[in-house]
Amino acid sequence: MNSRCQIDLIDMQAQPDGNYKFILVYQDHLTKFVNLRPLSNKRAEEVAYVLLDIFTTFGAPAILQSNNGREFSNKIVEKLCSMWKDLKIVHGKPRHSQSQGSKPRHREYVRNVVARQ
């Protein structure tokens, strides 16, 4: 676990839950373990805070893969990741789900579960 993890955001603005309009998806590539966290916005500060909580709970991965979204490539997130010297950040191409692994399936699953609530 934690050798390679992927992060992505699911836009839930069409179905907000109170102040929460996004869901951060953090998935371990090997075990497929998924951690979902609600976000009120997708600014780098909030994403970095959630990543800090995940890293201190589960440990930081060796490789963190994300898209090129501002919330993941922002200097604040990069500074947070620099706290873990062995962590390497890998960015995929934006809007190309194939380069991001299995997250598209999780997006649909999460949307369906939330829609049923």
Flag whether pLDDT at 114 surpasses 60.
yes
Domain boundaries along the sequence of the chain: 4-116
- What pLDDT does residue 17 have? 84
4-116: which CATH number, 3.30.420.10, 2.40.50.840, 2.90.10.10, 1.20.120.550? 3.30.420.10
User: Mean pLDDT across the chain, nearest whole number?
Assistant: 82
Return the DSSP state at 100.
G
Of the candidates 32, 84, 37, 48, which has an alpha carbon nearest to the alpha carbon of residue 63? 84
Q: Please give the model's pTM, rounded to 2 decimal places.
A: 0.80
Flag whether pLDDT at 81 surpasses 90: no
Average pLDDT over residues 104-116: 72
More confidently predicted of 95 and 102 = 102
- CB burial class (10 A; 0-12, 13-18, 19+) of residue 55? buried
Q: Which residues pair with 91 in a beta bridge?
A: 66
Mean pLDDT of 16-43: 91
Confidence category of residue 45, pLDDT binned at 50, 70, 90: confident
> Is residue 79 predicted with pLDDT exceeding 70?
yes
Residue 97 has pLDDT above 60, yes or no: no
Whether residue 70 is predicted with pLDDT greater than 90 in this model: the reply is: no
Q: Is the pLDDT of residue 99 over 50?
A: no
